[in-house]
Amino acid sequence: MLAATIALFFVSLGATESQVGIVATLFFISSIATRLLINVVLKRAGKKRVLMTGMLLTTIVIVLYGLAESLGVAAVLRVFQGVGFGVITTVSVTIAVDFLPASRRGQGIGYFSLAHVIAMAFAPALALFLRMGYGFPSMFFAAAGFSFIAAVILFFCKEPPASKEPPESSETSAENSEKSVWWRNLFSIKLIIPAGLLLMFSLSRTADTTFISVFAEASGLLGHLSWYYVIQTATMFAIRIFVGRFADRKGRNWILVLGGSATMISCIILSFTSSTALMLVGAFFSGLGYGVVAPALQVWMFSLVTPEKRSIASATYYNFTDIGIGIGAALMGYSAEYFGFPVMFRVGACAGILYILGYIAFGWEKRKKA
């Protein structure tokens, strides 16, 4: 719900496009900092307890959004929401991976991520309806209600047993021998290539994820923005049903290249958009790109580490996503304010090209999986 409306909320408080980008960057900085410490916290507290704390913090922050009346207060709340976001995104997927057998991890992560996809099918429409009909406070209180329900559901869940499964990589002994190095609890060097690619892909998507609602309002298309999310979500849902299984059997090469190409095409289309029909075509390619690339990169990262390092792989995945979006939010915000939305989307397309070239140069699998 907030993905579709938070930028509009800050604009309603007097923020410019560049200020919206700066606040978005602060959100991602706080979430990144949280994930850098999450592995240390998980060693002292159970995953369920940490996840519950993140959910309750998020609920409280969203309630306070509904009471905020100044840009400064809202920006501070956004930082605290970033802490909750960092906890939830990291720990929830780590728990999910603990349940999955290695041979079906791509398929399982694809199914797990459908929960987010399903929420995106109706949440933006509901948020925009409440915002336009009843105002931002009602929208925020409804969003907080969903967050609280998630915390209640979590209360009845159990943590999975610890896994003893070996990593896909043969570098386990080298990793174990360097456990004394402090940064090993924060990042694994084996993740550097997929992490770098993820950063570029996320930067490419920022024009869509952060500014699509502001763009739609400025273009007179806000009344049809709900359909943008419906088309985007339906495409992600359809592609994720089988993309994980395909990656498990055939490898990731063409999936990651074609997904990046779809995201680049989406940015190009949106840069020329002046009608609802063209905006919805952009939504299709945006959903296609994210639905393919996100789970494939996530599975790639999990396959490179030992089970006890999965929280680090999860944190790295979301951190580099947020670094890309954080850098992109500031860059795209200034581009939109000083050069216009068409230039902003074309900057996103250029980042997509860099992602594709980077994967071909550094990430291409030498052999397909059997």
- Exposed, middle or buried: residue 237 (CB in 10 Å: 0-12, 13-18, 19+)? middle
Q: Considering the chain, what is the average pLDDT of its residues?
A: 83
Share of the chain above pLDDT 70, in %: 89
The three state secondary structure string of 138-193 is: HHHHHHHHHHHHHHHHHHCCCCCCCCCCCCCCCCHHHHHHCCCCHHHHCCCHHHHH
Q: How many angstroms separate the Cα of 233 from the Cα of each of 81, 288, 302?
A: 24, 9, 25
Cβ count near 341 (within 10 Å): 23
pLDDT at 366 (0 to 100) = 66
pLDDT per residue as tens digits for the range 185-203: 566 788 899 999 999 999 9
Check whether 248 has a pLDDT greater than 80. no
> Residue 262, Cα to own-chain centre: how many angstroms?
17
Check whether 353 has a pLDDT greater than 80. yes
Check whether 142 has a pLDDT greater than 90. yes
CA angle at 103 for the pair 102 and 105, rounded to the nearest 5°: 60
More confidently predicted of 27 and 117: 27
Check whether 164 has a pLDDT greater than 60. no
- Exposed, middle or buried: residue 270 (CB in 10 Å: 0-12, 13-18, 19+)? buried
Backbone φ, ψ for residue 356 (5° rounding) = -60, -45
CA angle at 163 for the pair 159 and 165, rounded to the nearest 5°: 155
Backbone φ, ψ for residue 156 (5° rounding) = -95, 5
pLDDT per residue as tens digits for the range 11-35: 898 888 888 888 888 888 898 888 8
Cα(298)–Cα(310) distance, integer angstroms: 11
Check whether 177 has a pLDDT greater than 70. no
**Which residue type, as a one-letter code, is found at position 278?**
L
Cα(24)–Cα(88) distance, integer angstroms: 18
Q: Using an 8 Å Cβ cutoff, are 168 and 304 in contact? A: yes
Domains (ranges, CATH) in the chain? 2-158+186-363 (1.20.1250.20)
Q: Which residues in 280-309 are b (16+ Cβ under 10 Å) and which e?
A: bbbbbbbbbbbbbbbbbbbbbbbbbbbbeb
pLDDT at 318 (0 to 100) = 81
Q: What is the mean pLDDT of residues 59-84?
A: 92
* pLDDT band at residue 175 using 50, 70 and 90 as cut-offs: very low
Q: What is the mean pLDDT of residues 262-291?
A: 93
Q: What is the mean pLDDT of residues 2-16?
A: 88
Share of the chain above pLDDT 90, in %: 29
pLDDT at 132 (0 to 100) = 86
Q: What is the mean pLDDT of residues 220-226?
A: 86
Cα(252)–Cα(245) distance, integer angstroms: 11
Q: What is the pTM of this model?
A: 0.71
> Residue 356, Cα to own-chain centre: how many angstroms?
19
Check whether 315 has a pLDDT greater than 90. no
User: Going by C-beta distance under 8 Å and a sequence separation of 6 or more, which residues neighbour residue 292?
Assistant: 239, 243, 255, 256, 258, 259, 262
